[in-house]
A and B are shown apart, each in its own frame.
Chain A
Amino acid sequence: MTHVRRLAALGVALLAMYLTLQLAAWWIAAPGRDLYDGELATQAAFAEGVDHWVASEVDRGQFATGSPLLDGEWAFATRQMAVLGYGQLIETHPDDPDVVAHWFDQIDVCLDALVEERARAFDEEAWRGYDPLDDLGSSRPHMGYLGYLSLSLAYDRFLRPDSPHAALEGRVIAHLVRLMESGRAREIGLLETYPGQIFPIDNVTFFGALALHDRATGEDHSALLTRLLETLQTRYRDDATGLLIQRVDLRGRPVDEPRGSGTAFAAYFVSFADMELSRSLYGSIQGELVGSLFGFGAVREYPRGNGGSGDIDSGPVILGQAVSTTGFTLALARQHGDRDTFMSLYATAALFGAPRQGDHAAHYVMGGPIGDALMFALTTAVARDQNGRAR
């Protein structure tokens, strides 16, 4: 009888522990509920956290990845993602002209910083002394810099066609369109990030930019865009999983596996051009990579059954779950109306990232410039209609 009583007590205790973990996940993810619902006060607090970094001298010295190239990429990505975050807020909260004007000012500061010489330095070094902006019109695509820059510039122009950065946007898009329509890129539908290195994800930023550019200017690159998106679908998605191949060689043959980080980031960027393709990629991630335990969600970097180590794209991979991939997937869950997945992933992101709000601004304790900017853009990502407008 005593054993039965003890077993029953143990069962009740285990149930209580399970419920406590679920409750902890719910409590830790509290800011996520407001972010998912698009609550202006919470979103604006995180925007103000990013304002701090925008006003700071964020450059390579801020990071310590161990690689000057990656440090430069992260400093660049901080402002590039900030532009997307501010833009998404402008689209979804257009009512207060003063606030919108402030966010446009922030976009201007970011874009000005993105084209500064020191922001371009990482790409110039990788291209052995060829500066990406001086190289507009050349045969060098510089996708590691120009792909991401094109998306920020095109989004800005989409939001305000009379943008002071419109002329540069036109030059960058024209450069990449010309290269996509010539040489090897006509066949493989991709351009080099750095010499000899091709990453589909870096090209997808340009696909999003091209769609935004056409909507902003009335130009028509639909034939090119359709070809590029079809090539991405048919050639660079893994047949078995639907995930995107992380890296290919100069002939478009896979040299890396289908992975979560590239797929999740690509699904977010391609949503600016094609929501259906974004939904399809998210479906593959849902089917192959997303998991949850006690209310804490996480996303694998490699499909189940495949192992691999982490790198700069995935962040640390712990028991198969990847830090960055989990963060990127937040954007997709929000864009595609998947509240449960968003909340469980946000619980994990908040457990490790620790959002903390001061008097006004909110930061992620473990975020730093890149983490704050990424989470800002990803948690404000929006669903788009056929015309690319936020729904």
Chain B
Amino acid sequence: MSTRREEAKKKKPKRLVRRAVGGAVMCLIMFGLAELFGGWALDIDASAALLSPSQGLSEEAILAALGFLGCRILSLLMFVQWVGWVVYHLALELPKRLSAIR
């Protein structure tokens, strides 16, 4: 039992690092998607979708505008959440490590 717990303890930091890297990659993907949608929105001038979301817009313009704004805002929120998650776990783990070293 104690061996299993020790193994889990050893694996935990690795798991956290994997999750942190995975989260960072997801943020980068979302950011890249926003850039792609942004380029497309600029090419087809999807501005009317934001400025006058009323009538007569092409599906392409709506998709480009929503894709761009959605990914842009999501990438920001994901990044902020990722920072919070990383800092939370650092704040939990660092004191333990420091006391172990002492």
Contact = CB atoms under 8 A, between A and B. Distances in A.
Q: How large is the interface on B (under 10, 10 to 19, 20 to 34, 35 or more residues)?
A: 35 or more
Interface stretch (B6-14, B18-26, B45-53): B45-53
Nearest to A294: B80
B53 A365 contact: no
Contacts, number: 102
A66 B55 contact: yes
B84 A14 contact: yes
Contacts of A369: 45, 47
B47 A9 contact: no
A6 B89 CA distance: 9
Interface in A342-391: 351-354, 356, 363-371
B50 A323 contact: yes
Contacts of B68: 354, 365-366
Interface in B35-69: 38, 41-42, 45-57, 61, 65, 68-69
A20 B91 contact: no
A370 B51 contact: yes
B89 to A, nearest CB: 8
A261 to B, nearest CB: 13
B95 A366 contact: no
Contacts of A12: 87-88, 91
B69 A366 contact: yes
A366 B92 contact: no
A293 interface: no
Given A9-B92, A16-B84, A363 B51 contact: no
B32 to A, nearest CB: 14
A222 interface: no
Contact of B47 (A24, A66, A367): A367
Interface in A1-28: 5-6, 8-10, 12-14, 16-17, 20-21, 24
Given A20-B83, A65-B48, A323-B50, A365 B41 contact: yes
Interface of B: 38, 41-42, 45-57, 61, 65, 68-69, 72-73, 76, 79-81, 83-85, 87-89, 91-92, 95
19 contacts: A6-B92, A12-B87, A13-B91, A14-B84, A17-B81, A20-B84, A62-B45, A65-B48, A66-B52, A351-B72, A351-B76, A352-B50, A353-B50, A363-B42, A366-B50, A366-B51, A366-B65, A366-B69, A369-B47
Given A17-B87, A21-B80, A70-B52, 17 more contacts: A9-B87, A13-B91, A16-B87, A17-B83, A65-B56, A66-B52, A66-B55, A66-B56, A352-B50, A353-B50, A354-B38, A354-B68, A365-B68, A366-B46, A366-B68, A366-B69, A367-B47
